[in-house]
A and B are shown apart, each in its own frame.
Chain A
């Protein structure tokens, strides 16, 4: 199995930061899930049934857009929490 390193203090603080981030992130995701994903089911299904080519482009745009957005949110949270901690 992988060897273990010996510095414990930075690890503990990393885990603590991570848990705080995760809690805030969970609230964001829940709100996003209710506001966007749940409400977009209908029109996405309609696009899928009636306009496959538009659906394909929208699907790709959505996944890329969400990833960029989530990356910005998680990076922002990371900076905010660690900045305050310092």
Chain B
């Protein structure tokens, strides 16, 4: 099928299948899936500027459904989400301007793909390191429950190897200071929230998708937000910031909405399967199973960059 907006020819079944797989993984791991959607679209032959804008459009729809589900479960800190939007939107615009700059002055495909590969490998290594370290700390805590040496907690009992970092950021007293009772945070500088949101926004505007792979861990490890609230709040925030990103990228000619719509039809049913599959698995080690996925995305990008072969 021809997609005249981006000038690409892609088999719609391949697009739906990509959406389906991304939907399954997103439903299973509770993430948006842009770490695979972007590389998949690029591998199907979509130019990188359209990959970024189209993936943002795709993620907006997904986050509406997921955020509604999390809201019902009480997993959204609306105050934190609204504050983050103020930082994310300028970040998204900065990222989108970066894409425009590359469209005019450089080879956008190569530059964005290389940044994407670097980010995906970093995420994978970080999640692997953090999960293993947290598991080790958990074991040590079990052995020495009364007065553990290394076990650290974020708010509401989440165990994380990085919780000390959040505590240090809470000590950063640059006013205005914000209280987030829903997230169990007594005081945190507004600037810390805006900085985390801005960086997430830049990744979202530059690489597409909701950038939950950056913002969500940053909320947990840097701000100390409990994981379940970080996931729900991130999704709530992506509805607005992703909506803005879709509009600004569409105005700049970077959104092929037909591709997003076709991919979404597969993702909708895949997400249901992914969520159903969670009854087969449980346990903290599930995060380790996530580790190969960003690497798969990176491998797809490297293959497409080196060979120039498209699967569409």
Known: A3-B281, A55-B250. Contact between A63 and B272, CB under 8 A? no
Q: Which residues of A contact B5 (CB under 8 A)?
A: 44-45, 48
A21 close to B262 (CB less than 8 A):
no
Partner of A56, one of B16, B251, B276, B289: B251
Docked pose: A5 CA to B246 CA in angstroms: 41
Contact with A along B269-284 (1 / 0, CB 8 A): 1001100100111110
Size class of the contact patch on chain B: 35 or more
Q: Which residues of A contact B247 (CB under 8 A)?
A: 56-57, 60
Q: Which residues of B contact A4 (CB under 8 A)?
A: 280-281
Docked pose: A1 CA to B243 CA in angstroms: 36
B34-73: which residues lie under 8 A (CB-CB) from chain A?
A: 57-58, 60-62, 64-65
- Tell me whether B268 is interfacial, beta carbon within 8 Å: yes
- Tell me whether A20 is interfacial, beta carbon within 8 Å: no
Known: A44-B258, A63-B257, A67-B61. Contact between A18 and B268, CB under 8 A? no
- Tell me whether B177 is interfacial, beta carbon within 8 Å: no
In terms of DSSP, what is the predominant structure of the interface of chain B? helix
Docked pose: A10 CA to B280 CA in angstroms: 10
Q: Which residues of B contact A57 (CB under 8 A)?
A: 247
Known: A41-B4, A66-B61, A67-B65. Contact between A74 and B285, CB under 8 A? no
- Tell me whether B265 is interfacial, beta carbon within 8 Å: yes
Known: A59-B57, A70-B268. Contact between A2 and B262, CB under 8 A? no
B282 close to A2 (CB less than 8 A):
yes
A59 close to B64 (CB less than 8 A):
no
Q: Which residues of B contact A58 (CB under 8 A)?
A: 257
- Tell me whether A80 is interfacial, beta carbon within 8 Å: no
Q: Which residues of B contact A21 (CB under 8 A)?
A: 269, 272
Contact with A along B255-267 (1 / 0, CB 8 A): 1011011101100
Docked pose: A2 CA to B223 CA in angstroms: 28
Q: Which residues of A contact B3 (CB under 8 A)?
A: 41
A29 close to B260 (CB less than 8 A):
no
A10-55: which residues lie under 8 A (CB-CB) from chain B?
A: 10-11, 14-15, 18, 21-22, 25, 29, 32-33, 37-38, 40-41, 44-45, 48, 52-53, 55
Known: A59-B250, A63-B260. Contact between A14 and B265, CB under 8 A? no
Known: A3-B283, A3-B285, A48-B5. Contact between A62 and B257, CB under 8 A? yes
14 inter-chain pairs at a CB distance below 8 angstroms, sorted by A residue, are A3-B283, A18-B273, A25-B269, A37-B262, A38-B1, A44-B5, A45-B4, A52-B250, A58-B257, A60-B60, A66-B61, A67-B62, A67-B264, A71-B268
Add 6 more A-B contacts to A11-B280, A21-B269, A67-B62 (CB < 8 A): A33-B265, A37-B262, A41-B4, A44-B258, A56-B250, A68-B64
